Copies of this chain bind each other. A is one copy, B any other.
Amino acid sequence: MATLSRLLSAIAPPSTDGVESWQRHLDSLTKPPGSLGRLEELALRLAVLRGGPPSVEQPVILTLAADHGVVAEGVSAYPQAVTAQMVANFVRGGAAVNVLARQAGARVVVADFGVAGPLGPAGGLVRCALAAGTQNMALGPAMTRAQAEQALEAGAELATEAIEAGADLLATGEMGIGNTTAASAITAALTGAAPERVTGRGAGADDAALARKVAVVRRALAANAPDPRDGLDVLAKVGGFEIAGLVGVVLAGAARRVPVALDGFIAGAAALVAVALAPAARHVLFAAHRSAEPGHALVLERLELAPYLDLGMRLGEGTGAVLFVHLARAAARLFCEMATFATAGVSERA
C-alpha cells in the first residue's frame, strides 16, 4: 500500500521543458492562433503533464461512497438509506454517472468507503470500508487521524491501480448522504470562510434544513477546532471516508502526473485538503464544472481553477467530471489529429 509520506514525496510540479514546443505545435495547426480558446490551454496543460502529445482515451471515474454520522442532525432531505441504494444503482449501471460514463467511454470504479446500509453481494463493488459511516462531527471528530490516513491511502491505491491499468485521466465521483455538510465544514476550516457562506442546499435541503446545516457546520468547527495548517487534521475531524478517498485519488494522480478532473463541491473540498498536504498537486487538477453549491465558487478560487462547464448541476457522483471528459478528449485529439498549415497547404496570416 502506498503510504502517505511516500505519496507526498513523489509530488512535484511537472517539467515545463516542452511548453514552447507544444505551443508552437498548437500554432501550426490549421486555425487562427488561439481560436480554439480554452481547448488550447487545456491541450497545453495535458501535454505538459504527459510530457508529450496528450491522450484522453482511457478515462476512469472513481465513485467513492460513504455515510456520515452528521445526518443525525437532520441536515439532509434524503434518508441515509439512499447511500446504499444508490451504490446498488451504480453497480447495476442505472445512475446518471453510469449513463454519462458509457457515453464518454469511461470506466466507473464504484467503491464502498464506509456505507452504513446493507450493500449485499454487489458484483464489481470495491470494498474499502473502515466503518459503517463516520461519527457525528457535530459532537466530536468524524474519524480518527489513523482512519483518515487509511481511507486516503485506499483511495490512492485505487487510483494507482487504475493508472497502472492504463488510465490517462482520473475523474472524481462520490455518493454520501450528508457529504455536502462535511464539504462545507472542510471548506470553512481551510479557507476561514464563515459557515453560512460555504453551506448550501445539497441534494435539496429546505430553508429549515439549510439553517440546521449552517448551525451544524459551526458546531462541528467549534467542537473539533480543526487546524487549518494540518490538512489531515481537518480531514479527520470534519471530513468523511469517501472524501478522504478522493484526497488519495488526487494525490495519486499528482504523484504520477495524471490529470484529475474534479467534479463539484465535495471533490473540490477533497482537492483543498490534497493541496494543503502537497501544494504541487494543483498542477494535475482540472475543474470540470461550476456546481450550483455556493461554496464551490470559493473552493475554485482557492484552487485557482476556472471551471470548463457551468450548467447548474449539483448531483455529484462524478457527473460533471465525466462531461468534462469530452472536452479534455477534444483538446487532446485536436492537438494530435489536426492538419498543420504546412501539410494542408493552407496560407497563414497575410
Interface residues of A, Cβ cutoff 8 Å to B: 29-33, 35-39, 76-79, 81-82, 85-86, 88-89, 92, 94-96, 99-100, 102-104, 203-204, 292, 308-315, 319, 323, 326-327, 329-330, 333-334, 337-339, 343-350
- CB-CB nearest 9 A-B residue pairs: A94-B339, A37-B312, A326-B326, A35-B315, A37-B313, A38-B311, A32-B203, A85-B346, A99-B337
Docked complex Cα distance between A330 and B98 (Å): 11
Known interface pairs A100-B334, A323-B330, A338-B94; A79-B347 also in contact (CB < 8 Å): yes
Closest to A292 in B: B37
> How often does this chain occur in the complex, in copies?
2
A314 touches B35 (CB 8 A): yes
Closest to A38 in B: B311
Known interface pairs A204-B33, A339-B95; A89-B313 also in contact (CB < 8 Å): no
Docked complex Cα distance between A23 and B16 (Å): 49
Closest to A204 in B: B32
New contact pairs (7) apart from A39-B311, A85-B347, A102-B337, CB-CB < 8 Å: A31-B315, A36-B96, A78-B349, A86-B346, A88-B344, A96-B334, A323-B327
Known interface pairs A30-B89, A37-B312, A38-B311; A100-B330 also in contact (CB < 8 Å): yes
| B residues near A30, Cβ cutoff 8 Å | 86, 89, 94-96
A329 touches B103 (CB 8 A): yes
B92 touches A347 (CB 8 A): no
B312 touches A347 (CB 8 A): no
